[in-house]
Amino acid sequence: MNIQVGQKAPDFALYDSDKNKVSLSDFKDKNVLVLFFPLAFTSTCTAELCNIRDNIALYNNSNAQVLGISIDSLFVLGKFKAEQNLNFPLLSDFNKEAASAYGVLYETFPAFEMHGVSKRAAFLIDKTGTVQYAEVCAKPSDLPSFEGIQQALAKLD
């Protein structure tokens, strides 16, 4: 079951591409935009995360921390982050615990019959840990509504 608006966001503890353990609960004084993406180095994932990179001031000015999460290893994510000059943490959900908790794991990924790849999804979590925006994209090639995320973020203090 997908996490819905109004629910408490499940906490997670994952390693980032700099080998630091990062938990959702580390950001109690911030709003957090959690972006699940299927696989590093794919065209849609690159476009999505570069859009966030290019507009990071919108999130920073709204006291929001952006976290990108995929099932890729932290080493793959480190290379991806460096090549794309991404300016926010990428977290490895290699064991698929966070994607499972948020209900965004493909049983079978549409391409290449891979099992256990996360769906593209966006969750905006407020300072109290409550989900204020939730979107799970229908297809891996779909992007989340950046406008919808911004509208939800504008309503938070």
Q: What is the pLDDT of residue 127?
A: 94
Segment 69-124, tens digit of pLDDT: 999 999 999 999 999 999 999 999 999 999 999 999 988 877 777 788 999 999 99
Instruction: Examine the pLDDT at 125 and tell me if it is beyond 80.
Output: yes
Q: Do the domain assignments include residue 20?
A: no
Q: Choose among 41, 40, 48, 21: nearest CA to 122.
A: 48
Q: Do the domain assignments include residue 52?
A: yes
Segment 27-82, tens digit of pLDDT: 988 999 999 999 999 999 999 999 999 999 999 999 999 999 999 999 999 999 99
Structurally, how many domains does the chain consist of? 1
Helix (H) or strand (E) holding 79: helix 74-84
What is the pTM assigned to this prediction? 0.95
Domain range enclosing 56? 29-154
Q: Show which residues are catalytic.
A: 45
Q: Do the domain assignments include residue 113?
A: yes
- Interatomic CA distance for residues 5 and 43, integer angstroms: 29
